[in-house]
Structure formats: C-alpha cells, structure tokens
Structure 1
Amino acid sequence: MTVPDGVSSRTVSTDRLETHLLESGAEDGDPVVFVHGNASSSRFYAELLADLPEEYRAIAPDLRGYGRSERRPIDATRGLRDFGEDIRALVTELGIQRPALVGWSTGGGVAMRYAIEHPKEVASLALLNPVSPYGYGGTRRDGTPCQPDYAGTGAGMANEEFIERLEAGDRSADSDASPRNVMRSFYLAPETELDPDIEDTYVDALLDTETGDDYYPGDATPSENWPGVAPGEGGTNNALSPKYLDLTGIDEVNPKPPILWIRGAEDRIVSDTSFFDAGYLGKIGELPDWPGEDEYPPQPMVSQTRDVFEAYADAGGAYEEVVVKEAGHSPHIEQHDEVLSALTVHLDG
C-alpha cells in the first residue's frame, strides 16, 4: 500500500484487536482519530492526513474486518459498539486522551456511538455524510420502522454480484456491480474523475473488505413483509439497521462536543433519495411490489439527521452543517481543499 509523504503505517496490539492504522503529525500534537466507512479502509483518509496541519496527531485505524486489521466477527445486535470499543481500546493503548473524532458514513455512526457512551472523552465530532441517527433504511422521519421486523434493512439488501466480485478481488470495470464502478457511481458525484493511480489505490483499499455472515454485509433473515428480507445478527450492514442502531441519544450527552456536519450535495448513499434504501428503490420501480408511500416511504436520512442535530442544539449543544457542492458520498476526496479547510477551522475551535 502506497501512502503520501508524511503518512506512515503500523499495527498496534490492544486487548481487543490487532489494529492497523495510518498516522501523521507530531506525536505530542492534539489527537484526531479518523473513522472510515463501510466497504473502505483508512486508506481513503491518507491524503487528508498528509495535508492536516502538523500540530495535530492524526490517526486513522482500519476497523475490524477492513483494511489490514485483524478479522474479528461483528456482532450486529450491538449496533456498532464493536467498532467503538475497538477504537477506545486503541486510543487507550496509544495513551491518547479526549481525541477529536472524524467519522465518515458508517464511521460517523461509530463516532456518535463513542460520544454517547463516553462524552467526557471526546473533544469534538466532525461527521462526513454520516449514517442517520435512526439507522440505515426502513424508517419514517420520526424513526418509526416501516415494518415491524425491519424488513428491507440490513445485509439482505446488498448486491450479490458486488459481494462476489469483492470476494474475487475484481479490479475491472466490466460490470455495473464491479467494485470500481460502484465506487465511481456511488462513492463519488457523477462529474468526479479521479487520477487513475489514486483510483487504483482506492479500489485496492475497497477490496480489503472481509465478506461473510460476520463481516460485510452479514447474514439475512426471510420475512413475510415487503421486500421479503429482514436483518440477521452479524455483520456491518445489520449493525447499521435501525433494528439495532439508535443514535438519537446524542442530544442527551453531557458535556456536548461541538459537531461539524459535512455532506456532499450529490450523495446517493446517505440521502433523502438514497439508491440503497428499499423505500426509494420501490418508489422509482427498482424493487417490485412496493406497497406505496403510506406503508413504506423512502427514508429521509438527511432530514432525520438535521432533526436530531436541531434537538442537540436545543439541548445546549452546537452544530454546523456544511454542504459541499459537486461532491457525493466522499467530499473529503472529491473536494479535498474545501473539506480540509472546514475541518481545520473546526479543530482549531
């Protein structure tokens, strides 16, 4: 794995996990921990780490089952707690106290979980296109599930061909479901074109995703409710299901770290019109037999997040929403300078 100048990698042993990480900056600098998203790794942060001011000690671990970290099963019923506890064990091992947390997508959910359970140990939160605090898929705006068994969320909604191509280490662009084309179509805004070398690097990082019932995407359960599949109990996609993930308690934490919410204006993954949400796919005719808006509406993910952050502000916290134009699900890659500037101002504050 190649990384930019100023960024190094190593593996750290904790009482939970052999954790591979990237790092930059001064060892005695203000600590910032970067948490990556689903089907990715710390490598997606490397360019940001390289350009972060040197007064920060930046650390980006690979979560369990991703990148070069140890493969340990993910208990979905704990709602991302496995990841959060792994990170807490890592910062303890490194002697870090009260880091700022930066979380992208699923990593944003991990960062919120960490803050809910250890509020005195978090200096600030920067969330890049984070998962809705109500979990991913299958809920109305107030978080009420569309189906009693949360059908339409979790691992059963993952694309089988994409999983097969992940397992095969496919680096081609000969299918819409190839990892390269999924990254181009959904991680990035349509107009974004990456340098071929860096694109290859990100594809390799994406392919470092462990697959299976305990990893990505997890196991699934048949359902009598539309669209016929409900979450199982293992793996990341099930851990994101609203059956297990509820981060709405963020508004009750004390003390309340300042929140910077950065999102790409053209995100197609975490969106009120998400191409990975059963309700939206049904509405546009991509999933058959959709029961309609009254029974299974698209999940308004961005609106839900804003509602929860407004409640956070009403309870005495502070948040800022930054919408990055010409960016999709990965604004830190697509509009690097703009995100770096906003993040640096946030951290300096």
Structure 2
Amino acid sequence: MTDVRTAFPSVSSRLVTTPRLAAQVFERPADDAATPDATVVLVHGNVSSSLFFLPLMSSLPPGLRALAVDLRGFGGSRTLPVDATRGVRDFSDDVASVLDELGTGPVHIVGWSMGAGVVLQLLLDRPDLVTSVTLESPVSPYGFGGTRLDGSLMTPDAAGTGGGGANPDFVQRLADGDRTEDAGTSPRAVYRSSYVAPGFTSEYEDLWVESMLTTATGPANYPGDSVASESWPGFAAGGSGVLNTMAPTYFDVSGIVGLPSKPPITWIHGELDAIVGDASYFDLNMLGKAGIIPGWPGDDAAPPQPMVAQTRAVLDRYAAAGGEYRELRLEGCGHSPHLERPDEFRAALLEQIGAAVAEA
C-alpha cells in the first residue's frame, strides 16, 4: 500500500470544519502565497476521493496553491446523508463552505466526472468563488441518463436513472472493502475497465482502489434509493443518495448559458471514456439496446443519452452567449485524463489558468 506521505511529500491533509460538515482537504501550498489568482481547487467524482489528484497536485508549478476537497461520504470527510432532491447542491454547498472557511476568494476550479457537475452548480450558485473552470470527463449538463439531446425527459419520471441502476454486487463489494480482482464487479476490476482506457497501468493502482473503498454505501449515500416506475425498466430516482443527485429530474446545470459573467471553461475528455459517452454502458438505455437488459422499448422511447453531444451543445450556447470554451479530446484516453495523460492535462490546466490571470 502506498504511503501518501512518502510518495507525495509536498501534499498534506487536514480536517476543515465548516457550519455544514467536517471535510478532509489536501493541500500543496504555493511557494509564493502572494501570487494573485493562484489557487487551484480539485473536486473528485463518484466512487473516488481526492487521493486520485495527489500526483497532479504534486506536479503543479511551485507558484500555485492546490487544494482538493473530499465530498461528503467520500475519502476522509464526514459521512452525511445526501438530499438528491437538491441535485448536487449538498456537494457544491459543502465545497463553497470549505472555500469560505479557508478564505480563498475566487479560485481556478477543476471538476472530474460527477465533480464537474458539482463545479458547474457551484458556478451557478456562487460565481464569486470561480475564476476559471476545467471540466474533466464531465457528467452531462442534464445529468446521467433519461434525456434527449436537448435535455428533455424521455419519461416524466426519468425512468431508469438514479440509485436503482447501480450493480448491487459492486455496491456490496465496496461495503465489504474488496481489494481483489476476482470478479468483474470488484472495485479494482471496475477501475481497470471503466476509469481508465484498456491497458493503462499505474504504480498507484492500490491507492486508487483504497480511494474507491472510502465510498460510504447505503440509501442515503451511494448509490441511493429508488422508486417504482410504470415505464421501462421499472424504476426511477428516489430522493436520497449519490446517483439520484444526477437524475435529470433533479439536476440541470445548463443555466450556465445565462450567467451574466462567464469565466473561461476548458473541457478535457478521452475518446475511450467508458462512463461518459454517447453510447455509455453505464446508461441503462444503452444496456437495453445491447440486449443486456430485456424488454427495451426501442430507440424512439428509450434511446441512449448523447452525453458528450449534450455537453458540446451547452458549451456552444455558452460561447454564443458571450463566454468562451475550448475542448481537448484525447485519443486513446479513458475517463481519467489527469492520470492517463498527465502532461497534456497539466499543460491544458496551466494554459487555462494563465489565460484567466492575463484577463484579470
């Protein structure tokens, strides 16, 4: 098992207590604390923690301060229930409370996967805290599953989305602390098949598995609860837990298009992303189309969600309304560009920060 203190000696962690929660925060301090707009904040995704960011944080230039916040129910942060009827606001409000407690002021913020949705919600609710945005393999602005290209719902209750879609064996293996590779539903196997592109290896794989295993499980956390639906596949999102926060009945951050002040956005994603894609096998409609789940009603009623196309469409509207964004699509890369292509990811992030500072 990797000792993070030895492997990443420039990064330390502490518990930051706010009126909302006690959050574990990793920090790589800047050499020059007076550098303007020099704080980068990293927000992890689902079934992970800030441990995934330690190599990136360690590799950033010494003039930058880097912070990574564990979300509630992940990593070393307190496990609290997640009210999914607020979308991801429990998470984004938590991040805002940490930044307020630390007195960071506006920051350059990076969100990975679900964390990208958290970042965009933060931008909507607390634009005063955001100087620039980097989206890594982001969840669609319309959530996960159940929508057409324009974000409209396929069924009124977005059937097939939320907590009911999690594989129960994977959830049980998380709860049991399974570190093996004996089954395709073990966290280690899921990391290898879905978090990174086929063939990618890392000396820190054991650390990434430990990070996944910090996930608090249950109906109030991961994956959440579900309710019955009259539409295929027979369930819809409940009101609590992590996966329900991204159900399109509760989550929609396309409102960034209407923000009066629009920070620059960089969107980084891999062409081999197995989780977020226009034909993702984490989307139950795609599983139905592939014949893996029986009874699929067809493309007219339940097409796979065009997740990447939705992100591009919303960002195009963002740019047309006066904002700016750039897209970096990495060939041969999976869901974790900051791990798989660290040099290109870091260069794009630093270019984003430099451009934002130059405009300030």
Question: CA contact under 8 A between 2:257 and 2:317: conserved in structure 1?
Answer: yes
Off by >2 Å, runs of 4+ in structure 1: none
Matched, 1:343 2:349: yes
Aligned twin of 2:141: 133
Aligned twin of 1:241: 247
Residue from 120, 124, 130 that aligns with 2:132: 124
Matched, 1:278 2:280: no
CA distance in 1 between counterparts of 2:168 and 2:310 reads 29
CA distance in 2 between counterparts of 1:114 and 1:16 reads 15
Aligned twin of 2:264: 258
Residue from 194, 203, 213 that aligns with 1:186: 194
One-letter amino acid of the structure 2 residue matched with residue 229 of structure 1: F
Residue from 9, 20, 43 that aligns with 1:5: 9
Residue from 321, 325, 333 that aligns with 2:331: 325
Q: Counterparts of 1:26-175 in structure 2 under 5 Å? A: 26=30, 27-29=33-35, 30-175=38-183
Question: CA contact under 8 A between 2:96 and 2:126: conserved in structure 1?
Answer: no
Question: CA contact under 8 A between 1:25 and 1:53: conserved in structure 2?
Answer: no
Aligned twin of 2:300: 294
Aligned twin of 2:358: none
CA deviation string 1:258-297 (max 9, x = no partner): 0000001100101001111011111111111110000000
CA distance in 2 between counterparts of 1:233 and 1:179 reads 25
For structure 2, which runs of at least 5 residues remain unmatched after alignment?
Answer: 356-360
CA distance in 2 between counterparts of 1:223 and 1:95 reads 45
CA distance in 1 between counterparts of 2:98 and 2:292 reads 42
Deviation of 1:185 (Å): 0.3
CA distance in 1 between counterparts of 2:201 and 2:77 reads 29
Please tell me the root mean square deviation across aligned C-alpha atoms, in Å. Answer: 1.0
Tell me which moved more, 329-338 or 27-36: 27-36
One-letter amino acid of the structure 1 residue matched with residue 15 of structure 2: T
For structure 1, which runs of at least 5 residues remain unmatched after alignment?
Answer: none
CA distance in 2 between counterparts of 1:230 and 1:209 reads 22
Question: CA contact under 8 A between 1:169 and 1:207: conserved in structure 2?
Answer: yes
Deviation of 1:28 (Å): 4.2
Question: CA contact under 8 A between 1:263 and 1:322: conserved in structure 2?
Answer: yes
One-letter amino acid of the structure 1 residue matched with residue 299 of structure 2: E
Query: Normalising to structure 1: TM-score of the pair?
Result: 0.98
One-letter amino acid of the structure 1 residue matched with residue 28 of structure 2: S
Question: CA contact under 8 A between 1:141 and 1:304: conserved in structure 2?
Answer: yes
CA deviation string 1:68-103 (max 9, x = no partner): 101111100001001111111111111110111100
Query: Normalising to structure 2: TM-score of the pair?
Result: 0.95
Q: Percent of aligned positions with the same letter in both sequences?
A: 48
Question: CA contact under 8 A between 1:188 and 1:330: conserved in structure 2?
Answer: yes
CA distance in 1 between counterparts of 2:137 and 2:54 reads 18
